Each structure stands twice: as C-alpha cells, then as structure tokens.
C-alpha cells in the first residue's frame, strides 16, 4: 500500500484527489495539509511514501516545504510537485529542493495515479515532455555552488569531480544516459548490459552523488557537464 499525503491550499483539489485515491486499492490517503508548514509537521507525524505538493501556497510555500521534507533522509518521503505550465520559476526551485517529479494539474486522473506510483517506486521522470523541458531550461542556468558530497564544482572538471565522489567510468556512462532521459532498459540496450545491471548502476549513483531519484541524477549530469541543454 502506497501511503499518500495531499498538500494544497485549494480544498476542491484535495477532495478530488482523495476521492480518486479512495477507489484505488494500492493507494491510501493518510493525511491532508493546506500549507507548507502544516505539511512538514504532517509528514514528520505520519511518514508517508509520497507527498503530493502544491507550490503556490500562503505562508510556507511548496518549495520550502519540499526542502525541509527531503532533508529528513530517515523519513524517505518523496515529493511529487503539482504544477502548471506557467510555473517554471517555481519548478526550478523545487528541483533544487529535492522534488522527485511533477504532475500537471490538468492531467488525466489515471495519469496522476500512475505518477504517484512511479515516484513511490523511485523512478521520478514522469510526464517526460514536461519534465525534460523543465530540466533542460533549469540546467541552462548558472549552477548553485556544489554540495560537498559531489566532490567538485559542477562543470569544472567532470572526470575529477565524479572520481572524487567514487563514480566509476561505467557509472559515468550510465549517468550520462540518465541525463539524456533514457530508462534502465534503454541504458541496458545502449551499453549492452542487462537491465538488472543498469538498475544496479543507477542505485549506486544515488548513493555516491547523494540523490534520492532520477531527477537528482539528471541534474547531476547537467551540473557536471555530461549533458548539454538542447537548442
């Protein structure tokens, strides 16, 4: 059972999602919050698998709430951001804050349910047409200072920075392909390895680079200059 918390300051959106999830055997709503501060406290109390998070809310917004939720590694709660196509500025912040993926509010209901399942499983790149565009635009911006666990300033010397983080040459190849948006099966085909091996490489990259999911790996791939924004 995937345990879900709904965070949105619009009661109608929370109600619609709650009713939808109530009819879904593998999903369960374990709490609701109307703002970011309330969401952080709720997640600490109930430890859900996924928090479906609005961005624009009064008081503590979804970006700050996401940052605080994902900073608690013991909780292991993944944040799925609710966005619209004109929310790019907010989504860049949510990416940096540790969001695992994005839902567009006008998506089909079944797509939303599938998105929650995808994020709960750790495969974060749902809605590829939206996410890849956002990540590409995000990556074209000047990067923030590198985190200590990445071992180097992003873009300065990719090989040295990744080696300092313990990333092998093969893992670097996998990271590049993740940055290009390939699935584990596609990575396996590209590198002539098994899908299980590709998945294992991705899992090790999570640990070495301090990321929670594939969105984080995509950001790392751009930060280290392994992938360039299209255009």
Under 8 Å between Cβ of 125 and 131: yes
Q: Is the CATH number of domain 2-139 3.40.50.2300?
A: yes
- Which stretch of DSSP H or E encloses residue 81? strand 78-83
Can you tell me the distance from the alpha carbon of 216 to that of 46, in angstroms, rounded to the nearest whole number? 25
Ordered by start, the domain boundaries in the chain are 2-139, 148-223
pLDDT digit of tens for each residue in the chain (231 aa)? 999 999 999 999 899 899 989 989 999 999 999 999 999 999 999 999 999 999 888 899 999 999 999 988 777 899 998 876 555 667 677 777 888 887 777 777 788 888 898 888 876 654 445 555 555 665 565 555 444 344 444 445 666 778 888 899 999 999 999 888 788 888 999 999 999 999 999 999 989 998 877 777 887 888 888 887 555
Tokens linked to 113: 């349910």
Angle between helices 62-71 and 88-97 (to 10 degrees): 10
**CB-CB contact of 65 with 54 (8 Å):** no
Phi, psi of 75 (to 5 degrees): -75, -35
* Structure tokens belonging to residue 99: 């969001």
What's the Cα-to-Cα distance from 77 to each of 12, 47, 163, rounded to whole Å?
24, 7, 29
CATH number for domain 148-223, candidates 1.20.210.10, 1.10.10.10, 3.30.830.10, 1.10.287.610:
1.10.10.10
**CA contacts within 13 A on the Cβ side of 93:** 15
């Amino acid at each position: 059972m995937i345990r879900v918390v709904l965070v949105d300051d619009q009661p109608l959106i929370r109600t619609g999602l709650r009713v939808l999830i109530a009819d879904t055997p593998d999903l369960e709503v374990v709490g609701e919050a109307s703002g970011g501060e309330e969401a952080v406290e709720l997640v600490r109390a109930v430890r859900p698998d996924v928090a479906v998070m609005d961005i624009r809310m009064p008081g503590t917004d979804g970006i700050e709430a996401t940052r605080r939720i994902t900073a608690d590694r013991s909780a292991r709660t993944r944040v799925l951001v609710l966005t619209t196509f004109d929310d790019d500025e907010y989504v860049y912040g949510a990416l940096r804050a540790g969001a695992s993926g994005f839902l567009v509010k006008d998506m089909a209901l079944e797509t939303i349910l599938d998105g929650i399942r995808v994020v709960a499983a750790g495969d974060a790149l749902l809605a590829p047409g939206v996410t890849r565009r956002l990540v590409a635009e995000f990556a074209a911006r000047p990067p923030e200072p590198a985190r200590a666990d990445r071992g180097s300033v992003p873009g300065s010397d990719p090989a040295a920075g990744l080696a300092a983080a313990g990333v092998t040459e093969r893992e670097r190849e996998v990271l590049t392909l993740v940055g290009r948006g390939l699935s584990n099966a596609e990575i396996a085909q590209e590198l002539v390895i098994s899908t299980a091996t590709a998945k294992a490489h991705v899992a090790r990259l999570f640990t070495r680079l301090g990321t929670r999911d594939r969105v984080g790996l995509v950001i790392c791939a751009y930060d280290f200059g392994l992938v360039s924004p299209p255009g």
